[in-house]
Amino acid sequence: MSFENLKPEVLKIVRNSEISEKQRLTEVCNLLQTTIAYYDWVGFYFANYEGKTLHLETFAGLPTNHAVIPFGKGICGQVAESNANFVVPDVEAQDNYIACSISVKAEIVIPLFKNGKNIGQIDVDSNTIDPFTKEDEVFLVWLNEEVTKIL
């Protein structure tokens, strides 16, 4: 399914006010993880600025031991500090990488902004080396813009 075809599906989930915000985020994760072949794990982390940590709220894929990530640690922690998208074609080439699974080969992390503040991020892991394109990045930025409307 193309990203353009996924957009109405995402909007249908995000705009479903009959279920909780957390359930909507979980359904978005499930949609992406089951629809896009190289999205093997999808999760939303949210920032705790007092503790300078990220907390995993919802995800689809195998469970991870990394439910709390300090700012600056790993790809997600770096995005919490940089406020910038981070695409990692090959995780083995990264010095500051936290392995969530030995099968993960690539990662893309896009920050979530609410009223100009980085409140969290969407994290996507792939078991394929270098699968992410500019289209993935553009789609995930759009998705995050839609998600922040319900937060």
Residue 1 has pLDDT above 80, yes or no: no
Residue 141 has pLDDT above 80, yes or no: yes
pLDDT single digits (tens) 52-110: 999 999 999 999 989 999 999 999 999 999 999 999 999 988 888 776 778 999 999 99
CATH 3.30.450.40 fits 3-148, yes or no: yes
The per-residue pLDDT for 95 is 80
CA angle (11, 16, 22) in 5-degree steps: 95
Domain ranges of the chain: 3-148
Check residue 23 and report its DSSP letter: H
**pTM as predicted:** 0.96
Question: What letters, b where the CB count within 10 A reaches 16 and e where it falls short, cover 89-101?
Answer: eebeeeeebbebb
The per-residue pLDDT for 140 is 98
Residue 143 has pLDDT above 90, yes or no: yes
Please give the Cα distance from 82 to 36 (Å, whole number).
Answer: 27
